[in-house]
Amino acid sequence: MNTAAAFDARPSTVRIPPFRQRARTVVRSLGTLARDPGRLDQVLVLAETVNAEAIGRAIEHLHEDPEGRALLEEQPRIDRDHIDFEVLRRLPEGTLGREYARFLDDNGITPDVFAKLPDVGDPRAEYVMLRMRQTHDLWHVLTGYAPDVRGEILLQAFTYGQTRAPSSLLLALFGTVRWPLRWPGHVKALRIAFQRGKTAAFLPLFRWEEHWSTPVSDLRTRLACPRTP
């Protein structure tokens, strides 16, 4: 299936709901996550609600970068329609593809939950949001952060260091305030995660699909992202 799109350099047309509507959505989503932190749907709703302006700016920045323009034109996907996960499972131990497939299998995760594009009024922004969702678990593999509540909070801090996405900052701070005593040393770990995100190579532009056979340890060196302490 060819997902390539013609290059489009027009200004962002991301649809941004009124402030009060966004505020109500954020409050509802955070309330749900406070009761059930495993609600992925609410994380996605939150990200779509508060990141609209940031995504619009990101589109403009991507147009200025050759790799960013190529990503928007080619629109590679990481899902079962485009990736043979059985092939990944047969790769050598320690390679990105093998460890990614193991991560999905061990945690009962499937990339198919991200099959539907978000609806924000700009096809380029919708693809960028989809790309961030489809590569999220690869960020887990690279950084070493577990897919539990604490690991997700730390990965959000890392992501904020990378992208300055408002949703990542909000989720990292909300999780830290919501569960302040559960994890000794959490504030320090949060600060380290943020710094790791700042100093690592810019992951949103990385072509994971071209490195399934590369050892994760080599990618951590290449991307300046050593495994979490």
Between residues 198 and 6, which one has the greater pLDDT? Answer: 198
Cα–Cα distance for residue pair 111/133, rounded to 1 Å: 9
Per-residue pLDDT, averaged over 41-59, amounts to 82
At 48 the pLDDT is 80
- Do you know the residue count of the chain? 229
SS3 state at 95: strand
Q: What is the pLDDT of residue 11?
A: 54
What pLDDT band is residue 2 in, cutting at 50, 70 and 90? Answer: very low
Domain ranges of the chain: 19-222
How far apart CA 79 and CA 81 sit, in angstroms, is 5
Distances in whole angstroms, Cα of residue 130 to Cα of each of 10, 63, 86, 125, 135:
20, 18, 23, 8, 9
Q: Encode pLDDT of 85-126 as tens digits.
A: 999 999 999 999 999 999 999 999 988 777 677 777 788 888
Determine the Cα–Cα distance for residues 110 and 114; give it in Å rounded to an integer.
Answer: 9
The type of residue at 26 is: V
pTM, to two decimals: 0.86
CA distance 195 to 50: 23
Q: What are 131-156's pLDDT values in tens digits?
A: 999 999 999 999 999 999 999 999 99
